[in-house]
Amino acid sequence: MMVEVLTSVLAGAAIGPAVPRWTTDRTSDLNFGHCFIVLDPSRLSSGFPERLAGYLDVMRALPGRVIVPGDPEKSYERDARTLGVSLHEDVAAAIKSLAIKMGVPLPPSFDEIDASRAPPAHMFMGAPSPAAAK
């Protein structure tokens, strides 16, 4: 209820059943509300980082798998550091093509990439397309 009070009532947006179904109703104004609150924990009490770490330890010790905000991202980062980052073939080809043009060495993992498959550079670099330049 508090979330609705902050994001609807306080924000002057639609409340409860008056909020249209955004996935099916494309004819009505959505009138969604948002509320952003910034807190500085050090102004409220001391020891916040330690208390939060203790709380998360308790949560993670519960039966079953408990995931708290930041856990998936830490897992993805750990995997990326050990396994590398997956790239779409076109992105890898574009990187290799640009590296060749710029004389930048690439790691051996790019050896098998066919740089000729690279889409035009303007698709990745934000430069105007050749057609727009005419």
Structural domain boundaries in the chain: 1-37, 45-83, 89-127
pLDDT for 69 beyond 80: yes
105-to-87, 94, 111, 116 alpha-carbon distances in Å? 18, 14, 11, 17
Backbone angles phi, psi at 19, to 5 degrees: -80, 120
pLDDT for 117 beyond 90: no
Buried b (16+ CB within 10 A) or exposed e, 78-104: eeeeeeeeeeeeeebbbbbbbeeeeee
pTM metric for this prediction:
0.47
Give the model's pLDDT for residue 72.
94
Res. 42 pLDDT band, cuts 50 70 90:
very high
CA angle 68, 41, 57 (to 5 degrees): 30
Structure tokens at 78: 């750990």
